[in-house]
Structure 1
Amino acid sequence: MKTKLPRIFLLLLGAVFLINMLQSYCTPLIFDEAYYWYYAQNMAWGYFDHPPMVAFMIKLGSFLFDGELGVRFVSCIFSVGTFVVIWISIDNPKKRNYVVPFFVLVFSMALLNAYGFFTLPDTPLLFFTALFLYTYKRFLFDSSLRWAIIMGLAMACLMYSKYHAALVIVFVLLSNLKLLANKYAWLSVFVALFCYIPHFIWLYQHDFVTISYHLFDRPNAAYDFQKYTLGYFVNLVAIFGLTFPLIYLSLFKTRSSDTFTKALLYLVYGVLIFFFISSFNRRVQTQWIIVIAIPLAIITFRYMMQNEKVNQWVFRIGLVNIAIILYLRVGLVNEELSPIYYETHGNKAVAEQIKAEVGDTPLIFINSYRNAPMFAFYTGNDTYSLNNAYYRRNQYSIDDSELKLQHQKVLYFSGNPKKSDISFTKSNGGTFYGEFIEDFESFRKLETIVDGPMPLETDKEQILKIYNPYDRPVALKKLRFNVAYLTDFKKVENAILIYPKPVDDKILSLPPNDTINFTFKLPEPKMVEPAYFRVSISDNGLPFGLNGKNTELLY
């Protein structure tokens, strides 16, 4: 199989790489990138929201470059790598005559373009999806030990990128069930699972916190056709931009002429059907279906070489797409040229104001895993997201960031203008209101444990266990408790103070690394038939935290 790249291909590839490098250097971080940069400050085999590949990319790039370019450098490599792998996955000898249309096609795909420089879990997901499909294609021609191992490594990297990768692997397998009788296919699976053992260990050590959050604890809302199902179809357009009719036309016109094409079709239709069904349960985010861009790039380019009319229209509309995308990319850097306010705008300037005013004072943001890492990146200060009962858990809930701030003077961005000592205004008019706390102390990791499911009986004594994971005792006088009642969709509807009593009434503090039993009564809820409740703790007058799991109520 010839893989030598034409000279024009290399020139265009180099141009794309330079554009993405320049964009990476000039564009301030978006909030998710800052969050993943925060991951990379403490390398691990897993993180609260995702596997570790995105953190590894940032860590590697930061060894080579400082600032935003360090965060994004490996993404630039993966982007052009994705283009190369898609290209070599196509066997048609005519493709050397269609190099420019190929680049117009892939560079005009809106999200494929954006992930050319943004560093998000979807960036390696796209690259390793392309690589997995290529190795699978080679494996079909040569089911050998070598390609079995290479395909297993590709699958492992895919799963280290994002959990959605499981869909890619499953739908390719379903397209060719004969693989179940192939010993080398099983070897690939073994290699992938062996390489994934460190992440399995991390999950076990952290009580499968990531799986638990995504499957059980993630808040939801009542079904809304416009936001959920109709929004899903809007996402199918947004992935590709103006060329979407021609891309989906190529999909509908393509038949399973061989095993590899069948895998491409199974992957696209499988993902589309899976998330269409999911849209009746929750809002499907655009990036969740981004993997279809890889098989559809192959399918569409093949069809373009078969149908000159489609090729011409993809080329024309694709150029319009590219012009719009490049304009929007300029707007990411220059706020005055942007048609909308975007999250790259204003954060760096506010960070400079904060740094000038408070120096190295640690910064605490309430309910913001977005602001905390963003301002850590641009100020260099220690930061922390203080998550309360109305928010969600995140990486700040499980790492040691809280410990670093204990008994220090901090600037606490409570958002309350009446209590603020200082404020900072962004270019979009948003204001940060901060108050100084001279001796900050919090116990966000205290864990409340209630055996459930439990009937809603407000006159009955219940057992509440409180686990103190700290290496120091926690005085009970510093704590207050409440019961938060939640809807079927795990949204807190109301919260009511309670006064648990230690079973041993002589206890005045929670011993370190120990569990103490309390008794309490469920308060009368101020809502109709709550579905869940959660016992929360307020430490030193701070907002009530996310200290326990949701306990189901029985009726």
Structure 2
Amino acid sequence: MRLSVLAISLAFLAVHLAIAAWVPLFDDEAYYALWARDLALGYYDHPPMIAYMIRLGTSLFGETALGIRLFPVIGFAASGYLVGDMARRMSGGHVGLAVLATALYNLGLLVFALGSFATPDAPSTLFWVAALWAAMRAVNTPPGTRAAMLWWVCTGLLLGFGGLSKFTNAFLAFGLLGYLIATPKGRAYLPTRLPWMAVAAAALPLLPYLAWNLQHDWLGLERQGARLVASGFSIRTLGEYAALLLLAPTPLVSWFALRALRAPPKDGALLVWSAVPLLLYFAYHATHAPVQANWIVPLQAVFAVLAAFGLARAQSPQRWTRATLAIALLMSVGLVAAAFNPVAPIGTADNPPNQTRGWPATEEAIAELLEETGATWIATTDYARTGSLALRFPQVPVWSVAQLQRYGFRGAFPAELCAAPGLLIERARRSETTSETAPSLFETVEDTHEVTRTQAGVTLMRYHLTPVAGLKSPDLCPN
């Protein structure tokens, strides 16, 4: 069994590594790669784990697409292996169920789509699944043994590492607590010291991040906590959330996962309780704002394991299993192939696939203007341009002159750039023919040039390139 699950995991790993090496970086990945240049205990947008994973890869392969994505891709493959091992333990060692669960997990729309890229969802999902896997071992180990203590501590540590990946992972801790309170098997552990040992272990990895927040006026916690504030009510976004939950694992996987709940397998209660708090929070969030698809990636493990049991109990299980795998394969591979096809973009929206297209001509135009104007650095006003241009022009200093709270990890702004000639690069809005922000940011502003990023004749993005000098910002260039 282990070799079979391992073989499937390695096969998907090979597929994702090939995609990772072939597809150019999109904006968010480039921004996270900028974090990895200057490691810190915390960042404005997310906890730091994705930066650490990227740094490991770039230390081996440099700031290439493969180097940046290597360990996030490995993280997704490892989580798939653990999904199979959970199914094996829940089924009493059934080989087929473990293999099926691993395959269903890897063929889910979200896992297959995100499994090749470097986003915080990679470490978040890895540590979510790993913590759930360790918790399953913990609650099936007699409480008076040394092994029980080790598994509870392991669960806590993995929860803590999950918290260093994404705040979403805190909901898993709430789910495990709900399991301990609501189920007889869980309540047997409440009088022991084991849950408290898990809590202490979970807090340990988080202490440096909490200290960083304390030193930075709770910047990261305040940023993420703002999403808890509700305003308005919308049934439409609630319906979109329900559709997302059913479609993300692919439809038949969702159907058979729900069927499995009629007679839950061993430790099925643990799976369900692990997901309940996050499901409820996103239902609340969906009443006033859309739930982004990537937010629910950690829940795909639960769908995959339950669906494997549901398929095993179906009438004509082999026929339904083949149909489920075939539909998942067509949907997931078809989606990624269409989105990243090398011929032409799908639409003109500023989405991750389109952010990877049309760069050679754009880079050449920027390089020519840098040389023509004598600009010694590139100025930006948003994180997408900052990260993307920093990786594409490693020989030129790239600094944002706006949204400064995002860039504390980079240290002090180079004083020599305050008066040096620069090139301000911004996304051009449709109504703008020249940079409207440059005069407020710089003492000297020359005529704006426009560069368009295109592929196959489709306009994907317009940029304003404005030669500037004399940065006005007192925060970056104090007198």
User: TM-score w.r.t. structure 2 length?
Assistant: 0.83
Paired residues of 2:256 and 2:311 also in contact (CA < 8 A): no
CA deviation digits over 1:9-51, x for unaligned, max 9?
3333222111111100001112111111111111011100111
Paired residues of 2:339 and 2:345 also in contact (CA < 8 A): yes
Name the residue aligned to 2:351.
Answer: none
Choose from 206, 210, 220 the match for 1:196. Answer: 206
Cα RMSD after superposing both structures? 2.7
Supply the AA of the counterpart residue of 1:169: A
Output the CA distance in 2 between the equivalents of 1:188 and 1:306.
Answer: 35
1:249 aligns with 2:280: no
Name the residue aligned to 1:395.
Answer: 406
Name the residue aligned to 1:353.
Answer: 365
Name the residue aligned to 2:466.
Answer: 435
1:296 aligns with 2:303: yes
Output the CA distance in 2 between the equivalents of 1:50 and 1:99.
Answer: 33
Alpha carbons of 1:348 and 1:439: their partners in 2 closer, same or farther (altered >3 Å)? same
1:88-127 counterparts in 2 under 5 A?
A: 88-90=85-87, 91=89, 92-93=91-92, 95-98=94-97, 101-127=100-126
Number of aligned pairs?
436
Q: Give the superposition deviation at 1:247.
A: 4.5
Alpha carbons of 1:242 and 1:262: their partners in 2 closer, same or farther (altered >3 Å)? closer
Supply the AA of the counterpart residue of 2:155: M
1:81 aligns with 2:96: no
Output the CA distance in 1 between the equivalents of 2:402 and 2:247.
Answer: 32
Output the CA distance in 1 between the equivalents of 2:425 and 2:345.
Answer: 29
SS of match in other structure, 2:451: strand
5+ long unaligned stretches in structure 2: 182-186, 349-353, 436-446
SS of match in other structure, 1:425: strand
Paired residues of 2:49 and 2:120 also in contact (CA < 8 A): yes
Alpha carbons of 1:316 and 1:267: their partners in 2 closer, same or farther (altered >3 Å)? same
Choose from 11, 14, 17 the match for 1:18. Answer: 14
5+ long unaligned stretches in structure 1: 446-469, 474-555
Name the residue aligned to 2:153.
Answer: 149
1:73-472 counterparts in 2 under 5 A?
A: 73-90=70-87, 91=89, 92-93=91-92, 95-98=94-97, 101-142=100-141, 143=143, 144-177=148-181, 178=187, 179-216=189-226, 222-226=232-236, 228-250=237-259, 252-255=261-264, 258=266, 260-309=267-316, 312-336=319-343, 339-341=346-348, 342-347=354-359, 349-358=361-370, 361-366=376-381, 368-380=382-394, 381-387=396-402, 395-396=406-407, 399-400=410-411, 402-403=413-414, 405-414=417-426, 415=428, 416-418=432-434, 420-427=447-454, 428-429=458-459, 430-444=461-475, 472=478
Output the CA distance in 2 between the equivalents of 1:184 and 1:357.
Answer: 63
Alpha carbons of 1:311 and 1:34: their partners in 2 closer, same or farther (altered >3 Å)? farther
Paired residues of 1:61 and 1:72 also in contact (CA < 8 A): yes
Paired residues of 1:268 and 1:296 also in contact (CA < 8 A): no
Q: Give the superposition deviation at 1:397.
A: 6.4
Q: Give the superposition deviation at 1:372.
A: 1.3
SS of match in other structure, 2:199: helix
Alpha carbons of 1:273 and 1:160: their partners in 2 closer, same or farther (altered >3 Å)? same
SS of match in other structure, 1:387: coil
Q: Give the superposition deviation at 1:106.
A: 1.7
Paired residues of 1:254 and 1:299 also in contact (CA < 8 A): no
Output the CA distance in 2 between the equivalents of 1:245 and 1:288.
Answer: 17
1:70 aligns with 2:67: yes
Which deviates more from structure 2 when the two are superposed, residues 352-361 or residues 29-38?
Answer: 352-361
Paired residues of 1:369 and 1:396 also in contact (CA < 8 A): no
Output the CA distance in 2 between the equivalents of 1:217 and 1:13.
Answer: 35
SS of match in other structure, 2:343: helix
Q: Higher RCO, 1 or 2 (CA under 8 Å, sep at least 6)?
A: 2
Supply the AA of the counterpart residue of 2:406: Q
CA deviation digits over 1:84-131, x for unaligned, max 9?
111111222563235664444122201111232111111111111111
Query: Whose radius of gyration is greater, 1 or 2?
Result: 1
Question: Structure 1: which 4+ aligned runs deviate by more than 6 Å?
Answer: 217-221
Which deviates more from structure 2 when the two are superposed, residues 271-280 or residues 216-225?
Answer: 216-225
Paired residues of 1:369 and 1:394 also in contact (CA < 8 A): no
CA deviation digits over 1:162-214, x for unaligned, max 9?
11111011111111123442202211211221222111111101110112222
CA deviation digits over 1:449-469, x for unaligned, max 9?
xxxxxxxxxxxxxxxxxxxxx
Give the share of equivalent positions with the same residue, in percent.
19
SS of match in other structure, 2:94: helix
Which structure: greater helix fraction? 2
Paired residues of 1:304 and 1:310 also in contact (CA < 8 A): yes
Alpha carbons of 1:218 and 1:394: their partners in 2 closer, same or farther (altered >3 Å)? farther
Paired residues of 2:110 and 2:249 also in contact (CA < 8 A): yes
Which structure: greater strand fraction? 1
Alpha carbons of 1:363 and 1:19: their partners in 2 closer, same or farther (altered >3 Å)? same
Output the CA distance in 2 between the equivalents of 1:56 and 1:89.
Answer: 27
CA deviation digits over 1:207-262, x for unaligned, max 9?
10112222248998644432x2222223223422343542452354343x65x321
Output the CA distance in 2 between the equivalents of 1:171 and 1:217.
Answer: 20
Paired residues of 1:104 and 1:319 also in contact (CA < 8 A): no
Choose from 55, 60, 75 the match for 1:59. Answer: 55
Supply the AA of the counterpart residue of 2:174: V
CA deviation digits over 1:502-554, x for unaligned, max 9?
xxxxxxxxxxxxxxxxxxxxxxxxxxxxxxxxxxxxxxxxxxxxxxxxxxxxx
